[in-house]
Amino acid sequence: MNGPKGDERARPPASARQDTATEAGLALFLEAVLSVGVDLDLPTTLQHLVDTATQLAGARFGALGVVDPECKQITELFTSGISAAEREAIGPMPTGDAGLVGVLIRDPQPLLINDVEADPRAAGVPEGHPAMRSFLGVPIRVHTEVFGNLYLSEKVDGPFTEDDLSVLQVLASQAGIAIGNARLYASARQRARWIEGAAAVTTALLTGESADDALMTVAEQARILADASAGVVLQPTDDGGMEIVAAATTDGSGDADDIVGAAIAPGSPVLVQLLGGEPVFIADSATDPRMTTHVRSRFGPSMMLPLQSGGRLIGTLALPRERGGRPYTAGDRLLAAQFASQAALALVLADAQHNREQLAVYEDRDRIARDLHDLVVQRLFATEMMLESTRRRAAADDADELLSRAVDELDSTIQEVRTAIFALQQPPSETPASLRSRVLRETAAVSSALGFRPSVRFRGAVDTLVREPDDRQLLTALRGALAAARRRPGITAVEVDVDATARLPDGRTGVRLVVRDDGEREDDGSGTTVSWQAPG
């Protein structure tokens, strides 16, 4: 008997091999279906789905494109069967404006073509793209919303069949579930981040930051949350325009300093919308004719959101991304607008809190000043009058000298108390503008080094009678005298006397500065006097 050859006896029948292949394909199909939702990493899930679809259908190439629901363009593309070199040769990722990819985006219906070259809709294929004869594409959707498309091309063992289409539709539905779940998860996380960021800004602003620091806090926090290249705050100017007053960039470099000060001219279309309380969304800052600042060429997509509360416009929050950056989605815009409203309210509350604190300081200082004036000054003045009367009645010369000295001491004390009252009336956060305030600031600055506060006395209307450049020269002389006094050993007292009605040696009236101290001198004497004067 002639039996079958040894290799034929070992090979299973064709039907058995087909059943085995079917079982393997089914197992692969079930694995792909079950893998959806297991991994929260969306790119990994989508890449696995497109690889599985390509293998099950016996295609050479596969692709899965994620479509932006607003601009109807592909934002992400996952491929199978194409090497890195081939993908680079194809060129930029297709946007979906032309070719079969564009057909599926415009009309999201299953598409099966077994002769691509004969189909006029297949125009626009890049030169570096591998040759295609057969094509199978299905939309990825959940209910009525289209998330993207799944494509296969170049089936190895013949044309695509209806079975291939059915398998691809099931995998596309699974891809839709994966994309939908991932977007919901990402949206929830993004919303949580914006809420946490808004709460952090509110907390920071209500802890007593200065106005400049508050604006910088808003700009920096918004930049981080929006994944922008810069966070910018603009405020209205007196001429009706808007100027950048705070800027935070990704690396904290000097670019922020270059941005600050850039202005939007009055009458700009963008400005009209912002001043009207409307947000402005820009696809490309560098090319949009509405943008007029000199820094616009650095940026691409941008959001400009009004900071307003109670109908009052505080400023504008701008969040530009780098050139070529991904555009802002509807979710990004909504969350950023809500953040801007929260930040504007926090700025208003912080400003009101700062005003209340300043008012409390002013009220307390005013009370102290009233107490000093009403009680101390009146008593000292009454005592001075009594001593003056006693001196006139006294006959002895030594008593007259002693009483005269007591009257002078009381007069000096009254002058110093009045000076303290004037200092209490000055705003604590403002730079002194008058000469009297600047003299007090200079003496206060050396108090810590001396260990005590110098005594200051003003005579005459100092702020009115002493003008430029005499006021600057007087301050220079005062700084030099205080610095010299600080270096002397044994110093326990410094007296500063500014007399705007002094009689100068040449007989003219002018201003005289006298600084006295009790420090040790090199000639073993004690006490030093520095004098400066200028004619009026």
- Model pTM? 0.52
Residue 61 scores a pLDDT above 80: yes
Per residue in 148-164, pLDDT tens? Answer: 888 888 888 888 888 88
Percent of residues, the chain, with pLDDT higher than 70? 72
Q: Which residues pair with 533 in a beta bridge?
A: 512
426 phi and psi angles, rounded to 5 deg? -85, 140
Q: Which whole number is the average pLDDT over 380-386?
A: 71
Task: With cut-offs at 50, 70 and 90, classify the pLDDT of residue 8.
Answer: very low
Amino acid at 79: T
For the chain, what is the mean pLDDT? 75
The pLDDT assigned to 326 comes to 78
The pLDDT assigned to 397 comes to 56
239 phi and psi angles, rounded to 5 deg? -90, 5
Backbone region of residue 490 per phi and psi (left: phi > 0; alpha: psi in -120 to 50; beta: other values): left
The pLDDT assigned to 371 comes to 66
Q: Which domains does the chain have, with CATH numbers?
A: 22-186 (3.30.450.40), 206-342 (3.30.450.40), 434-536 (3.30.565.10)
108 compared with 19, residue with greater pLDDT: 108
Residue 297 scores a pLDDT above 80: no
Residue 471 scores a pLDDT above 50: yes
Per residue in 316-332, pLDDT tens? Answer: 888 888 877 778 878 88
Residue 173 scores a pLDDT above 50: yes
Least confident piece of the model among 7-16, 242-251, 305-314: 7-16
The pLDDT assigned to 40 comes to 53
333 compared with 496, residue with greater pLDDT: 496
Q: Which whole number is the average pLDDT over 166-180?
A: 80
Q: Which residues pair with 227 in a beta bridge?
A: none
- CA dist list (Å): 182 to 3, 47, 171, 532: 61, 14, 16, 78
Task: With cut-offs at 50, 70 and 90, classify the pLDDT of residue 524.
Answer: low
Residue 365 scores a pLDDT above 50: yes
The pLDDT assigned to 308 comes to 78
Residue 360 scores a pLDDT above 80: no
The pLDDT assigned to 357 comes to 66
Contact 150, 137 (CB under 8 A): yes
The pLDDT assigned to 32 comes to 52
Per residue in 408-423, pLDDT tens? Answer: 667 666 666 766 666 6
Residue 256 scores a pLDDT above 70: no
Distance CA 228, CA 231 (A): 7
Residue 54 scores a pLDDT above 80: yes
Q: Which residues pair with 528 in a beta bridge?
A: 517
The pLDDT assigned to 9 comes to 46
174 compared with 525, residue with greater pLDDT: 174
Q: Token pair 């001043």 is at which residue?
A: 275
What's the Rg (C-alpha) of the chain?
41
Contact 282, 290 (CB under 8 A): yes
5 compared with 249, residue with greater pLDDT: 249
Using the 8-state DSSP alphabet, how is residue 439 labeled? H
Per residue in 182-223, pLDDT tens? Answer: 778 878 888 888 888 888 777 777 776 666 677 788 888 888
